[in-house]
């Protein structure tokens, strides 16, 4: 079912993942691809006449994950508590709309802590930071608030634990991604980056009996497993992490896309180009059978030429995308005759992460 959260900031621009109310006035139930559809959006008579046979399959779950919701609210609460300006190292999440909306409210985004005036408030992004970044902030007497996703923190803890046990840690991830830099920084002498299956042949370890793999949380599940299989061929005693490193939300969004993609002529993924999990959804859609798939930040980026010969359009969004952007795409599709929207529900997400301790109130844990 759709989950609506009451707005905690009545005057703030919409950057929430689940803008309320989401549910349309008219709903119906059905099934697509063998998956139960909890909510279907009934098309109007005008839409039915204008786009007979045309439909939208709407992935559920999509959009904000618990870690992104926590990170965005962390910045909003920090603004309320300390007033503008506050500083955020890197982008709080990888979404243009969210970043620009927060910037308009007085958030200053910086690349490094040395750009933050001494004694100021700085928030660390959802992707996590290395110990060196914490040390740099402390040296400048910065008031730090850590919005790192708890699932990323879990990977950091694993890296520290296995470094203490003197393992070679093979970190599967994308070079240059903030999350990878943060995790590798926890154990720089033990972590070796493996950027996909093609990088496996270049891996060297000290002791083939003390090797473990960890991963960035936002990767393609299939590509990660292919990388692990290749690593295991080289290192048969390769150990698995104690628990799955790929985020539950990343996996859930990929599963939903896999479910609907075989019936889609086109899949539109709403998300930013620097969002790893959003880009992976495009790849997953194509690999699962969609004829075409494109990544857009906003509805205005959708090219009407994409609709030529298209009957079924799939729509989803990355884990850092507020629902208002998906609504914009659905409105545009309706204008082009795609008035029937059938949600494809493969999981229901209810996880909520606690805010950083210094920002907690009776209103939220």
Question: In this structure, what are the phi and psi dihedrals at residue 300, rounded to the nearest 5 degrees?
Answer: -65, -15
Half-sphere exposure of 274 (CA within 13 A, CB side): 14
Identify the burial level of 200 via C-beta atoms within 10 angstroms of its C-beta, where 0-12 means exposed, 13-18 middle and 19 or more buried. Answer: buried
Nearest to 58 by CA among 85, 27, 12: 27
What DSSP state is assigned to residue 42?
P
d(CA 126, CA 179): 8
DSSP labels, 225-267: HHHHHHHHHH-TTPBPPSS--S-HHHHHHHHHHHHHGGG-SEE
Is there a cis peptide before residue 85, judged by omega within 30 degrees of 0?
yes
pLDDT confidence of residue 245: 92
Is there a cis peptide before residue 158, judged by omega within 30 degrees of 0?
no
Binding residues: 65, 94, 127, 149, 177, 217, 247, 275-277, 320
Digit-by-digit pLDDT tens for the chain (365 residues) are 223 332 223 233 445 444 332 222 222 222 222 323 333 332 333 434 445 699 999 999 999 999 999 999 999 999 999 999 999 999 999 999 999 999 999 999 999 999 999 999 999 999 999 999 999 999 999 999 999 999 999 999 999 999 999 999 999 999 999 999 999 999 999 999 999 999 999 999 999 999 999 999 999 999 999 999 999 999 999 999 999 899 999 999 999 999 999 999 999 999 999 999 999 999 999 999 999 999 999 999 999 999 999 999 999 999 999 999 999 999 999 999 999 999 999 999 999 999 999 999 755 54
With a CB cutoff of 8 Å and minimum separation 6, the contacts of 196 are 172, 223, 227
* Cα–chain center distance at 233: 31
What's the pLDDT tens digit per position in 69-93? 999 999 999 999 999 999 999 999 9
d(CA 147, CA 356): 7
Binding residues for dimethylallyl diphosphate: 94, 127, 177, 275-277, 320
pLDDT confidence of residue 361: 78
d(CA 208, CA 168): 9
pLDDT confidence of residue 11: 34
pLDDT confidence of residue 42: 29
pLDDT confidence of residue 302: 99
Binding residues for [4Fe-4S] cluster: 65, 149, 247
**179 has catalytic annotation:** yes
Q: Which domains does the chain have, with CATH numbers?
A: 55-64+248-345 (3.40.1010.20), 66-149 (3.40.50.11270), 151-234 (3.40.1010.20)
Catalytic residue among 60, 73, 91, 179: 179
What's the pLDDT tens digit per position in 267-294? 999 999 999 999 999 999 999 999 999 9
Question: In this structure, what are the phi and psi dihedrals at residue 193, rounded to the nearest 5 degrees?
Answer: -75, 135
Tokens at residue 166, please? 């003197």
């Amino acid at each position: 079912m759709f989950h609506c959260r009451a707005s905690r900031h009545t005057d703030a621009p919409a950057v929430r993942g689940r803008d309320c109310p989401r549910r349309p006035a008219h709903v119906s139930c059905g099934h697509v691809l063998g998956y139960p559809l909890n909510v279907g959006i009934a098309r109007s008579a005008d839409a039915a006449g204008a786009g007979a046979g045309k439909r939208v399959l709407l992935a559920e779950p999509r959009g904000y994950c618990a870690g992104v919701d926590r990170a965005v609210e962390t910045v909003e609460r920090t603004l309320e508590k300390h007033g503008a300006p506050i500083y955020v190292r890197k982008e709080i999440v990888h979404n243009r709309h969210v970043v620009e909306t927060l910037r308009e409210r007085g958030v200053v985004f910086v690349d490094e802590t040395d750009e933050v005036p001494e004694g100021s408030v700085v928030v660390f992004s959802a992707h996590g930071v290395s110990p060196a970044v914490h040390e740099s902030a402390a040296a400048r007497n910065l008031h730090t608030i850590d919005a790192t996703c708890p699932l990323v923190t879990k990977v950091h803890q694993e890296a520290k634990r296995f470094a203490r046990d003197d393992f070679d840690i093979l970190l599967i991830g994308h070079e240059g991604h903030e999350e990878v830099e943060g995790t590798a920084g926890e154990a720089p002498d033990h972590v070796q980056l493996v950027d996909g299956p093609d990088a496996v042949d270049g891996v060297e370890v000290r002791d083939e009996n003390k090797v473990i793999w960890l991963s960035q949380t936002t990767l393609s599940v299939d590509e990660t497993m292919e990388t692990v299989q290749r690593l295991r061929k080289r290192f048969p005693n390769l150990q698995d992490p104690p628990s799955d490193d790929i985020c539950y939300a990343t996996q859930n969004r990929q599963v939903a896309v896999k479910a609907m993609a075989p019936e889609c002529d086109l899949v539109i993924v709403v998300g930013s180009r620097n969002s790893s999990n959003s880009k992976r959804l495009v790849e997953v859609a194509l690999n699962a059978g969609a004829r075409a798939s494109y990544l857009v930040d906003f509805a205005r980026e959708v090219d009407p030429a994409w609709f030529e010969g298209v009957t079924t359009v799939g729509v989803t969004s990355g884990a850092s995308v507020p629902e208002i952007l998906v609504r914009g795409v659905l409105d545009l599709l309706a204008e082009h005759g795609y008035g029937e929207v059938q949600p494809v529900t493969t999981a229901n997400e209810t996880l909520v992460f606690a805010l950083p301790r210094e920002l907690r109130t009776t209103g939220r844990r």
